[in-house]
């Protein structure tokens, strides 16, 4: 049996690291749907991941972008519904940071991934955050309407960002996307440091 290497062990340790729960709900004054929409827009960690995924999908062209636009919100919704039925709120801050950092690495590297892999990444990212959002919403007594607001906002964000990147042809424009990916990675590395230090408040 193959033993896990140091990288896998460190990743497992990161994801299992206990940190303070920072769940928060936003009150827009317009009802739970818009509260959910604002929740995503005001959660920079989630936003970074969605934008990094959109940039990655946009880099790989129309087919990959379409796959991400469809798979991300669908996975987010179904995982969110599962999360709503969980008895306790999950706290996977480490995994969340690692996920958007890895997406940033792929954007910075301009990784030539096939659309199926982009779709799988979108599904994994959507499922992770859907599960987290659903569990938190359930713990706070909120429900499907708020989750729908989050999901629709994720759809709009990935759609707009990917659509902005797909037609980019100029060399400098595509480099700008890669630079944005490196910024996401830098934020992720710093956040891992803050997490180790116990200062994370996302």
Partner 1 sequence: MSELHIRRQTLAATAALCAFVLLWPLAAWAHVESGQAGGFLSGLSHPVSGLDHVVAMIAVGLWGAQLGMPALWVLPVAFPMLMAAGGMLGLLGVPVPGVEIGIALSAVVLGALVLGRVRLPLAVAVVVVACFAIFHGHAHGTELEAGQNAMLYSIGFVIATGLLHGVGITIGLIQRWDLGGQVLRGAGALVMAAGLYFLWGATA
- Which residue ranges make up the site for partner 1 (CB under 8 A)? 24-29, 38, 41, 44-45, 48, 108, 156, 160-161, 163-164, 167, 175, 178-179, 181-183, 185-194, 196-197, 199-202
Residue closer to partner 1 by CB (options 84, 157) is 157
Q: Containing H/E element for 37? A: helix 32-41
Q: How far is the CB of 28 from partner 1 (least distance, A)?
A: 7
Alpha-carbon gap, residue 166 to 58, rounded angstroms: 4
Q: How far is the CB of 193 from partner 1 (least distance, A)?
A: 3
Residue closer to partner 1 by CB (options 36, 126) is 36
Residue closer to partner 1 by CB (options 100, 125) is 100
Break the chain down into helix, strand, coil percent, rounded to 5.
75, 0, 25
Residue closer to partner 1 by CB (options 123, 147) is 147
Q: 119 vs 23, 55, 126, CA distance in Å?
A: 28, 13, 10
Q: How far is the CB of 78 from partner 1 (least distance, A)?
A: 25
Closest by CA position to 156, among listed 47, 79, 24:
47
| Tokens (6 digits) for 162 | 């990917």
């Amino acid at each position: 049996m193959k033993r896990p290497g140091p990288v896998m062990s460190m990743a497992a340790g990161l994801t299992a690291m206990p940190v303070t729960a920072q769940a928060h709900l936003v009150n827009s004054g317009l009802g739970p749907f818009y509260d959910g929409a604002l929740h995503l827009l005001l959660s920079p960690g989630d936003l970074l991941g969605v934008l990094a995924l959109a940039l990655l999908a946009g880099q790989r062209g129309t087919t990959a972008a379409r796959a991400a636009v469809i798979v991300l919100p669908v996975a987010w919704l179904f995982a969110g519904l599962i999360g709503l039925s969980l008895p306790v709120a999950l706290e996977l801050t480490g995994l969340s940071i690692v996920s958007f950092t890895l997406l940033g690495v792929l954007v910075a590297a301009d990784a030539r991934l096939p659309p199926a892999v982009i779709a799988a990444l979108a599904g994994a990212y959507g499922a992770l955050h859907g599960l987290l959002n659903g569990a938190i919403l359930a713990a706070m007594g909120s429900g499907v309407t708020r989750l729908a607001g989050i999901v629709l906002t994720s759809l709009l964000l990935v759609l707009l960002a990917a659509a902005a990147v797909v037609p980019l042809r100029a060399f400098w424009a595509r480099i700008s996307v890669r630079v944005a990916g490196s910024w996401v990675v830098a934020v992720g590395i710093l956040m891992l440091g803050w997490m180790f230090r116990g200062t994370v408040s996302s």
